[in-house]
Chains A and B, each alone.
Chain A
Amino acid sequence: MEYANFPYLTTILLSCIVGLLVILCIPEERKTQIKWVSAVFSGITLILSVYLFMAYDKAQGGLQFVEKLPWVESLGITYFNAADGFNLPMLLLTGIVFFTGVLTMWELENRVKEFYAFYYLMVLAVFGIFMSMDLFFIFIWYDVSLFPMYLLIAIWGTTRKEYGAMKLTLYLLAGSALVLPAIIYLFVGSGLNTFDITILMKPGTFTPDQQKFAFILFYIGFGILAGVWPFHTWSPVGHVAAPHGVSMVHAGVLMKIGGFAILRVGIFLCPEGWQHWAQLMAVLAAIGIVYGAFVGLSQKDLKYVIGYSSVSHMGIVGLGLSTVSVDGLNGAVFQMFAHGVMTALFFSAVGYIYDRTHTKVIAELGGLSRIMPVASTYFIVAAMASMGIPCLASFWGELMVFIAAFKIYPVRGALAVCALVVSALFMLRVVQRTFYGPKNEKFAHLTDVTFGLGIPRMILLATLLLFGLFPALMFDMIATASIPFFNGLP
């Protein structure tokens, strides 16, 4: 472990907190000022997360930028942040989606101050989960990230927003209802009086039976958030109901928390439980991939299409985790990153279109590529990424997972690849009906996306391309964590 010279990780959290406080102090009427402040502070977090990603010493590996502070000594709670090859991609993803999300919501006019305040609170917690190495803090951040979501969706959302918000919050809290007993179970069971993951993950801390029991609770609890079939039903409903910026964070980052927490908490602490339940994980993941693709095929609403494709893509993450191999882990983490950026681009693009046309129903759109070619491009690129076209980031994640899966679960792997073809089919169908074909005259007067409003989409698109062309940037990073972890397994 290498202690940080400068607390970069805490600075990320602090810039969220300071940003939040500054927003709270600005009068409600000064909407532009609020937006600029939001953009500046989220920009700081983006810069810091990019810096951390570049400054991480890959040759040395392990935990870096470590910050440790005893919090409640009698309970063994430590404020313990660190970065490694698993969470740096996630921090980078959060930085990108946060900044672009703020910019995507630039045209918001209704209750701006409250929106950005809740938005900041949510992202603060998301950063917290990704960087924390203390079980207690992970849980706290996890819950904190959920509850602003209710208001964000219920106040600023669109389709069936109150239903969607309530369903989402209750589902995710039900997940935490499984996670908290499991955390306390491990805490009490270890007898070490500590929540420090680096101590608890030492082999031999927990008996195999304890691990099996705790792992399934973690898997289901966090799996609800990761959109694991059959606990995914909140996710399309929630995505559709949420405002675009929130959908971006939500599908782009929040669902990744589920996958990441299964890795960081479930797999790190209970490796034997992981191996024990891997078969089940693979089955659920494969069903999720196939199911998401087929249900997506019959959707009529653009956001529902993206929502179900998310279920399908998060299934790929689950499949990667279930292979119990280095390639699978690498692929899963890469896929989480790539899918996060891709979905953010999707929702950002849909957001622009919806704000102009006020409809997300595919049948009502049509020929949009001739009305707003640039806006359409963003969506089409995202759709291509979703289909797994090479040169875009998602290709590598999927490839890696499928290679790993074929070795271990040939049947389920084959099924999943077939489902990819279906998902390519429905994406192409959506693209064709929405952007090509006869032009809907009703929307002929609409203007295309301006340069300023296009910035967030460009950033996302550039990220997809960058990691699509140079996947080694990401794979080398993940490998610094996955290979030592895998070698350390009993």
Chain B
Amino acid sequence: MKWFLFYPELYTFAGGMVFLSLSLLKQANPRRDYFAAMILAALGVLVCLISVNQEGSLFFKTYQVDLFSQVFKVMLSLGLFLIICICSELKAIAERHHPEFYLLLFVSTLAMMMLVSGAHILTIYMALELSSYSLYVLVALRKGERVGLEAGLKYFLVGILVSAVMIFGVALLYSATQVTYMTDMMRVLPGALDSPMVVIGLLLTLCGFFFKLAVFPFHFWAPDVYQGAANQATAYIATASKVAAIAILIRMIAVTGDGSTYLAHVLVILSIVSMTVGNLAAIVQKDLKRLLAFSTVAHAGYVLIGILGMSTLGYSSVIFYAMALLVMKFTAFLVVVKVADDGSNLQMSQLAGLHRRSPLLAMALMVSVFSLAGIPPTIGFTGKFLVFAAAMEKGYFTLVLIAMINVVISLYYYLLILKAAYLEEPAEELPPLSLSPQIKILAGLLVCVMVAAGIFPRYLLDLASAAAAVLN
């Protein structure tokens, strides 16, 4: 066995075990847990970075380690680290549950790392379930409020339903083609896509990933779960979990080769409906987390635009988009977590006066919102541009036009957020927000990254292209 290929996963697993043992201690000590998690996660990023160039396969070739998976592992570990950075005041989780909270974060990240490396349909399914179950519990951990439990239950019920559908799809796929390895699928599937059973099997299998990515019609859980979970847990679901979902979706679609027109048409429709439903529903939201949930649905639609071209260019654009989503969504949630410092849900009206309470956070919010809306020169614009260019290459002009109209619709509610932060004055004078130096540096860095990667996308772009190149 070449264990060094498995270092990132092993490390994350060990990190989880640390918190398992911490959770056994009688004395609750949130500061200790926080710092332990922070250091472990920071080292985790390093471990992933070191092993970024590894290649090979493990466990009887059910586990594929290549540049594609390693790039996503870096993103996932970075996502975990960023989330832990904003956990310094974890007021929405009972203190004695803090170790469990971190444990679940680590386990879920571990599962997602395995997901992006999965080369066998059962590995993928197992990893998907492991990450989902950790998230169900994570959502339900919210302290004192029934809403957390309710959200967890809703998430769970929809999740197991979808996973039943998915496993049915896997069974269909197997009965039609008798393959379970991705490498075999890559060989067999492109020729078998005319058969209805294969297409239906594939689509049902994809449902599992659509659920993760919150693509219409599997998005119903998103607003309630986003609202019900603790802010940090929501941030994790909105960033790391989406990145993993994008990765596995790309891998799954890539095995179909050039794809079938039928599959592409289904994806086109899902993409259009996701964008439109997400953006229209977001307009009327008053709760910022609900709004971001619907914007996630819309972003899932944009992601599909890149994937459905089924070209290497499209995959690389989506990988870039995943990086963009990670940074810009996280920045938005950083502001949510810091403004709602008592751990409650953040209403739009509570943003009032933010430009005076904390100019830095207001600026971070502005840049992230413009990035989400796809306004240059931010990373979000570059991502959208690449995705649209890839779709246009395949001749989807109308789709791109519809997507652009959606961008304009989405701009309306993004501007409402800005308006709340920059224009409205709070009913009663609120004190300035006190931020720790680390958070200030983090917020400043995120702003710089979003703008710099928008202006100089070259290196990230090359990385994304290289990662996409190994798929074929």
A181 x B423 contact (CB < 8 A): no
Q: How far is the CA of A5 from the CA of B261 in the complex (A)?
A: 54
Closest-by-CB residue of A relative to B412 is A170
Indicate if B415 sits at the interface (CB-CB under 8 A): yes
Return A245 CB to nearest CB of chain B, in Å.
18
The verdict on A166 contacting B412 (CB below 8 Å), with A177-B407, A184-B389 known, is yes
Query: In the complex, which of the residues B418, B456, B465 contacts A150, with contact meaning CB atoms closer than 8 Å?
Result: B418
The verdict on A184 contacting B400 (CB below 8 Å), with A150-B418, A169-B415, A177-B407 known, is yes
Return B9 CB to nearest CB of chain A, in Å.
32
Query: In the complex, which of the residues A72, A150, A162, A188 contacts B392, with contact meaning CB atoms closer than 8 Å?
Result: A188
Interfacial chain B residues near A184, Cβ < 8 Å: 385, 388-389, 392, 400
Interfacial chain A residues near B419, Cβ < 8 Å: 154, 162
Closest-by-CB residue of A relative to B399 is A181
Return B454 CB to nearest CB of chain A, in Å.
9
Closest-by-CB residue of B relative to A180 is B404
A151 x B408 contact (CB < 8 A): no
Interfacial chain A residues near B461, Cβ < 8 Å: 72, 74-75
B458 x A143 contact (CB < 8 A): no
Query: In the complex, which of the residues A71, A143, A155, A180 contacts B423, with contact meaning CB atoms closer than 8 Å?
Result: A155
B408 x A177 contact (CB < 8 A): yes
Interfacial chain B residues near A72, Cβ < 8 Å: 457-458, 461
Return A194 CB to nearest CB of chain B, in Å.
13
Q: Mark A168-180, 1 if CB is under 8 A from B, else 0.
A: 0110011011101
Return A484 CB to nearest CB of chain B, in Å.
32
The verdict on A188 contacting B389 (CB below 8 Å), with A170-B412, A177-B404 known, is yes
B377 x A144 contact (CB < 8 A): yes
Closest-by-CB residue of B relative to A150 is B415
The verdict on A151 contacting B388 (CB below 8 Å), with A143-B376, A162-B423 known, is no
Interfacial chain B residues near A140, Cβ < 8 Å: 376-377, 381
Q: How far is the CA of A176 from the CA of B403 in the complex (A)?
A: 12
Indicate if B168 sits at the interface (CB-CB under 8 A): no
A170 x B411 contact (CB < 8 A): yes
Interfacial chain A residues near B470, Cβ < 8 Å: none
The verdict on A187 contacting B415 (CB below 8 Å), with A151-B422, A177-B405, A181-B400 known, is no
Indicate if B397 sits at the interface (CB-CB under 8 A): yes
Interfacial chain B residues near A147, Cβ < 8 Å: 370, 375
The verdict on A181 contacting B412 (CB below 8 Å), with A140-B377, A150-B418, A162-B423 known, is no
A143 x B405 contact (CB < 8 A): no
A contact residues, range: 20 to 34
Return A125 CB to nearest CB of chain B, in Å.
9
Query: In the complex, which of the residues B393, B405, B411, B462 contacts A188, with contact meaning CB atoms closer than 8 Å?
Result: B393
Indicate if B441 sits at the interface (CB-CB under 8 A): no
Interfacial chain B residues near A71, Cβ < 8 Å: 456, 458
Q: How far is the CA of A62 from the CA of B322 in the complex (A)?
A: 43
A185 x B392 contact (CB < 8 A): yes
Q: Mark B414-443, 1 if CB is under 8 A from A, else 0.
A: 010011001100000000000000000000
Q: How far is the CA of A178 from the CA of B370 in the complex (A)?
A: 19
Q: How far is the CA of A185 from the CA of B391 in the complex (A)?
A: 10
A170 x B408 contact (CB < 8 A): yes
Q: How far is the CA of A370 from the CA of B389 in the complex (A)?
A: 61
Return A147 CB to nearest CB of chain B, in Å.
5
Interfacial chain A residues near B157, Cβ < 8 Å: none
A185 x B408 contact (CB < 8 A): no
Interfacial chain A residues near B388, Cβ < 8 Å: 180-181, 184
| Shortest 4 CB-CB contacts between residues of A and residues of B | A177-B404, A140-B376, A184-B392, A181-B400
- Residues of A whose CB lies within 8 Å of any CB of B are 71-75, 114, 139-140, 143-144, 147, 150-151, 154-155, 162, 166, 169-170, 173-174, 176-178, 180-181, 184-185, 187-188
A140-B377, A170-B411 are known contacts; what are 20 more A-B pairs with Cβ within 8 Å? A71-B456, A71-B458, A72-B457, A74-B461, A74-B462, A140-B381, A144-B375, A144-B377, A155-B422, A169-B411, A173-B411, A174-B405, A177-B407, A178-B404, A180-B385, A181-B392, A184-B392, A184-B400, A185-B392, A188-B393
30 A-B pairs (CB sep. < 8 Å): A72-B457, A73-B458, A74-B462, A114-B355, A140-B376, A140-B377, A140-B381, A155-B423, A162-B419, A166-B412, A169-B415, A170-B408, A173-B407, A174-B405, A174-B408, A177-B404, A177-B408, A178-B404, A180-B404, A181-B401, A181-B404, A184-B385, A184-B388, A184-B389, A184-B392, A187-B389, A187-B392, A188-B389, A188-B392, A188-B393
